[in-house]
Each structure stands twice: as structure tokens, then as C-alpha cells.
Amino acid sequence: MKKHCYEDMTYHANFTCDLHNDPYVCPDKLILFNEKEKDYGLIIHDGGSSSIEITFCPWCGARL
């Protein structure tokens, strides 16, 4: 498990759901973390598979 800037960010970036294997379907999965590219995204839960790239932590404001 990768440690991120803030406890809540670490939890949400590493979260895996036991009920949903698709992160875009799971209402509890909020943050996507791309280990290869080292970038973060907020999932848009609108029935599709979109996310918005973020460069600052939504909880602590640190640069990601």
C-alpha cells in the first residue's frame, strides 16, 4: 500500500471494494491513483468511466 500525503488520501487512493470490481461503478471509490504516471483523479460517478485529474489533495491541500 502506497502512503500518500494525508491519511484520508491514502485510504481513498488505495481503496478496493469487495462488491464492485470496476472503480467507476463503486460509489465508495472516490480517488484513482495511477502508480505508473504518479497522477491522481477524482472519479465522476455519472455512469461512465471518467475522472478529473487533480494536482492538490482535497483533504490537506498539499501538492500531489
Q: In this predicted model, what pLDDT tens digit does every residue of 32-59 receive, in sequence order? A: 999 999 999 999 999 999 999 999 999 9
Q: pLDDT tens digit string along 6-28?
A: 899 999 999 999 999 999 999 99
Report whether 62 contacts 6 (CB < 8 A): yes
Query: Per-residue confidence at 2, pLDDT binned at 50, 70, 90?
Result: confident
Mapped onto helix, strand or coil, the DSSP state of residue 15 is coil
pLDDT of residue 1: 63
Q: What is the pLDDT of residue 5?
A: 86
d(CA 27, CA 24): 8
Distance CA 64, CA 54 (A): 8
Contacts of 63 (CB under 8 A, 6+ apart): 55, 56
Find out whether 10 and 2 touch, Cβ atoms under 8 Å: yes
